[in-house]
Amino acid sequence: MHEGSRAEATTAWLFLAPFLAIFLLFTGIPAVLAIGASLTDISARDIRDPFNVNFTGFQGFIDIINNPGFQSAFLNTVMFVVICVPISMALGLALALMLNNGIRRLRNFFRAAAYVPVITNIVAAAVIWQYAFSITGPVNTTLADLGLGAPNWLGEPGWAITTVVMMGVWRTTGTCMILFLAGLQAVPEEIYEAAATDGAGAWRRLWSITLPLLRPTTLLVTVLQTVSFLNIFEEPYLLTKGGPLGSTKSIAVWVYEQFGFGNVSASMAGSVLLLVLVGIVAIVQFRILRPKH
Amino acid sequence: MHFHTTSRRRATMLGIALVTSGALLLTGCGRSGDSGGGDAGASTKVDDEPATGTLEIWTQGADGAELPQMFEEFTKDNPDVEINMTQIPEAEFASKMTAAITAGTVPDLIYAFTETQSSLISTGGFDAVPDGLVDPDDFFEVIWDNSVYDDVAYGVPWYAYADMVIYRTDLAEAAGAEAPTDWDSLRTFGEDLKASGVEWPLALYAAYDSYTARQLLTFAKQNGGGFISDDLSTWTINSPENVEALEYWAGLMADGLASPDGPAFLDTVSWSTTGKNAAIIDGGPWFVGWFDDANGEGWADEHLSLATMPVGPDGDAATTVGGGSWFVPSDSENKDAAWKFARFMSEPESQVKWFEIFKNMPAVKSAWEDPALAGDRLLQTVEAGLETGVTLPKVSTWSQVGTVIGEQMEKVVRGGVSAQDALDEAQAQAESIGTGN
């Protein structure tokens, strides 16, 4: 190793040290303790005396995998990922393309408008959504005025899922848009000019230049969105408490509920499984979508 | 390449070591036996000197918003105490408290509603009520007993209530409907009001959680049923009496006499004020004060009347009894001030004051004789309720089992599942959860 690179490495570690310390303290150690707790039968009443529990190995994991409530939460979570990730990414990309190419004069306005849901306090937003989509709320009043039906948005499983999906997409599309916009602005203008000179139309340029060059951004957005929706908690918890009939209960909501019941071990096992799931999905996505040089 | 392999192996080894040490830390030795709670309280004495220092109180529910008025009363005689109050949403309270006990970052004093007391006490994170702090005989037995676990009292009761039927007299009169007294007349009452144009005559709790389960328990008791055996060892959720009660309850929704979508707890006043509902079944006494707050003083007197809960087919009376009690976490840094405040809140004068503020009934029997309460029309119905009060299954897993029952009740009203199948499923799940005792 060269002298110079060693100095660079030292500098790098020095800059990384504060992050690593915080990461270790607030993420690393709790994760290890959670894994440890998931291998025991610890419950709320033992939590002040951690030596008063039994080692149960993977029994806790086997139990929750066989638990119908967890299975249902798992399927709901997968459903949210499968529905929300493509929709929010497609909308984010469309908005980014629009802002990058079309309405340049109003770019700042639209960029802010699309990003507002990302920075809006989720609890305040959920209260407004809950009110808006209640049976007699403004959404149904408007639909009734238009002569359309008034669905029971939060009371029927299918509509409740739809509402949670809409809120999830509403909240994350802005993030996708900003990331795609950054990616689009990194594409050199000359490539488009050259392609235009060769007679490539707008669709051709999008298909053959923009999308391939956005591949790293797409990878990043896909992974971030997937991880975000695997961990989905606020939308189902605040809008529907996981109901009706458990139709919107995600793994994170299930984990939270179990902790509230004092089932600390099951709660920890659920969160560890979620962590493993997030890790596996992220690795697979990186493998599949990694740019090929 | 070699570097990567070594580093990966090293990372793996480090991970295994950390996990193993974490697990070992948590599993040093086996469970030594169930511990009911914190100190037994026998050696703790709370004197009559004024409280001092800072007192951290966590509140929940609507009670918390009004509590500062009682702080003012307390600090008159305890000028050197500073009270800091943190309001926590009711739905988050149990989780936050469990997390706080885990981390040792507890407040000095909390109150818990009857629904969550068993599970909180079972965390072992609370001290027993010190000997001589209060006299158990001063309180209604049903409320005092709710925070007794393995013969040790952990909570000082603050207030007690019994639910009742609160109905709109003007709407009932217009519909020619008589106040309900039993299951049959409750249904007729609803049908008459429906016929007169009230959208949802009856307001039932339909949040499908342990509170909905509590409501079913009331109907079940009116029908001679119940959720758990007398010795608290066996769940009896799918008994024929309970199934019948659930069929009756769900039938009211199936026939459009009550909405499965509400009112949610905080919508109750607006739904009844606007005439969307005509009667709150299982309504707490505080609602009356809320109607006046929302519509102006005197509105409740003009528009509302009260009746005891209807009796079941065989004339069995039962109503939901609840309340709040004060608890001191074992890691509290100012237990002395905490217990003194709890004691102050159980004094008859404070109990009467709280009734005037929030319309919650005193948990101390002697406070009911105060002239301030004597002429109150709420008391007649509540008093009857306290005599026929239903206590929740006093086991640490009640919150979880209650939620399971609530979820199954939702399947009956929304999912087309029969009452028998739903309660069979609830029974099976409850058996696998156990009683926690």
Interface predicted TM-score (ipTM)? 0.77
Please list every residue in chain A whose beta carbon sits closer than 8 Å to the beta carbon of residue B407.
Answer: 243, 245-246
- Among B400, B403, B415, the residue with its CB nearest the CB of A245 is B415
Check if B396 contacts A (Cβ < 8 Å). yes
Chain A contacts to B (CB-CB under 8 A): 32-33, 35-37, 39-42, 44-55, 135, 152, 154-157, 241, 243-246, 256-257, 259-264
Place of tokens 């030292």: A10
Chain B residues whose beta carbon lies within 8 Å of the beta carbon of residue A47 = 98, 101-102, 123
In terms of phi and psi (left: phi > 0; alpha: psi -120 to 50; beta: otherwise), the region of A242 is: left
Q: Which residues of chain B have pLDDT under 70?
A: 1-44, 437
Helix (H, G, I), strand (E, B) or coil at B112: strand
**What is the per-residue burial (b if ≥16 Cβ within 10 Å, else e) of B217-248?**
bbbbbbbbbbbbeeeeeebbbbbebbbbbbbb
Q: What are phi and psi of A177, to 5 degrees?
A: -60, -45
Q: Answer yes or no: do A262 and B124 touch at CB < 8 A.
A: no
Name the residue in chain A with its Cα closest to that of B417.
Answer: A245
pLDDT score, position B339: 97
Which of B27, B102, B122 lies at the smallest CB-CB distance from A54? B27
pLDDT tens for the 293 residues of chain A, in order: 565 688 899 999 999 999 999 999 998 998 998 999 899 988 766 666 667 788 999 999 999 999 989 999 999 999 999 999 999 999 999 999 988 876 667 777 888 888 889 888 998 999 899 889 988 789 999 998 998 888 999 989 999 999 999 999 999 999 999 999 999 988 888 888 888 888 888 888 888 888 999 988 999 999 999 999 999 999 999 999 898 999 999 999 999 999 888 788 899 999 999 999 999 998 988 888 776 65
In a 13 Å sphere around the CA of B172, the CA atoms on its Cβ side amount to: 25
Nearest chain B residue to A134 by CA distance is B261
Among chain A residues, the shortest Cα distance to B400 is held by A261
Residue B126 DSSP code: B
Residue B384 sits at the vertex; the CA angle it makes with B382 and B387, to the nearest 5 degrees, is 110
User: How far apart are the C-alpha atoms of A93 and A213, rounded to whole Å?
Assistant: 13
- Nearby residues of B221 by Cβ (< 8 Å), 6 or more positions away: B312, B316, B318, B390
Tell if the CB–CB gap between A32 and B30 is shorter than 8 Å. no
Beta bridge partners of residue B57, listed in sequence order: B85, B109
Identify the bridge partners of residue B112 per DSSP, sorted by sequence position. B325
pLDDT in the model for residue B352: 93
Residues 6+ apart with CB under 8 A from B7: none
Kindly state the DSSP code that residue A237 receives in the 8-state scheme: H
B211: tokens are: 């509170």
Contact B143, B324 (CB under 8 A): no
Best mutation target, B19, B21, B27, to test chain A (most A CBs within 10 A): B27
Of B28, B34, B414, the CB nearest to A244: B414
* Cross-chain residue pair B261–A47, CB shorter than 8 Å: no
Contacts of B209 in chain A (CB under 8 A): 241
Rounded to a whole number of angstroms, the distance from the CA of A154 to the nearest CA of chain B is 9
State how far residue A140 is from chain B, nearest Cα, in angstroms.
Answer: 15
Is there a contact between B23 and A36 if contact means CB atoms under 8 Å apart? yes
Instruction: Take residue A103 and report the two structure tokens written for it.
Output: 């309405």
Q: Inspect the interface and report whether the beta carbons of A44 and B119 lie closer than 8 Å.
A: yes
- Nearest CA-CA partner of B122 in B88, B156, B157, B97: B97
What is the DSSP pairing of strand B81-88 with strand B53-60? Answer: parallel
- Model pLDDT for residues A256-273, shown as the tens digit of each residue: 999 888 788 899 999 999
Provide CB contacts within 8 A for A80, sequence distance 6+.
Answer: A164, A165, A168, A229, A232, A250
**Which residues does chain A have within 8 Å of residue B38's beta carbon, measured at their own beta carbons?**
none
Cβ atoms < 10 Å from Cβ of B199: 15
Mutate to test the interface with B, among A32, A56, A254, A256 (most CBs of B within 10 A): A32
Peptide bond into B263 cis (omega under 30): yes
Contact B208 A47 (CB under 8 A): no
Q: Does B407 touch chain A (CB under 8 A)?
A: yes
Task: For residue A52, give both structure tokens.
Answer: 């008063």
* Residues B84, B361 contacting (CB under 8 angstroms): no
DSSP state of B360: P
CA distance A102 to chain B (A): 45
**Chain B stretch 195-234, residues whose beta carbon is closer than 8 A to a beta carbon of chain A:** 207-209
Separation in Å, CA of B353 to nearest CA in chain A? 33
Both structure tokens of A96: 């980014």
* Strands across the sheet containing B200-203: B200-203, B277-283, B164-168, B304-307
Determine the pLDDT at residue B110.
96
Listed in sequence order, the residues at least 6 apart from A219 whose beta carbon sits closer than 8 Å to its beta carbon are A285, A286, A289, A290, A291
Probe site for chain A from B26, B117, B121 (most A CB atoms < 10 A)? B26
CA trace torsion A164, A165, A170, A174 (10° rounding): 130
Strands B389-390 and B319-327: parallel
Would you tell me the crossing angle of helices A157-185 and A68-97 to the nearest 10 degrees?
40
Partner-chain contact B22 A51, CB within 8 Å: no
Whether B208 and A243 lie within 8 Å, measured CB to CB: yes
Cβ of A259 and B99 within 8 Å? Answer: yes
Interface of B with A in 78-137 (CB under 8 A): 91, 94-95, 98-99, 101-102, 104, 119, 122-125
Q: What is the pLDDT of residue A115?
A: 87
For chain B, the helix, strand and coil percentages under 3-state DSSP, each to the nearest 5? 50, 15, 35
Q: What angle do CA A194, A196, A199 make, to 5 degrees?
A: 115
- Set of chain A residues whose Cβ sits within 8 Å of the Cβ of B104: 48
- Give the dihedral sign, CA B324/B328/B329/B330: negative
Q: Would you state the pLDDT for residue A199? A: 83
H or E stretch at B277: strand B277-283
Q: Retrieve residue A107's tokens.
A: 């770019």
Residue B323 burial (CB count, 10 A): 30
Cβ atoms of residues B121 and B399 within 8 Å: no
**What dihedral angle (degrees, nearest 10) is formed by the CA atoms of A214, A215, A219, A222?**
60
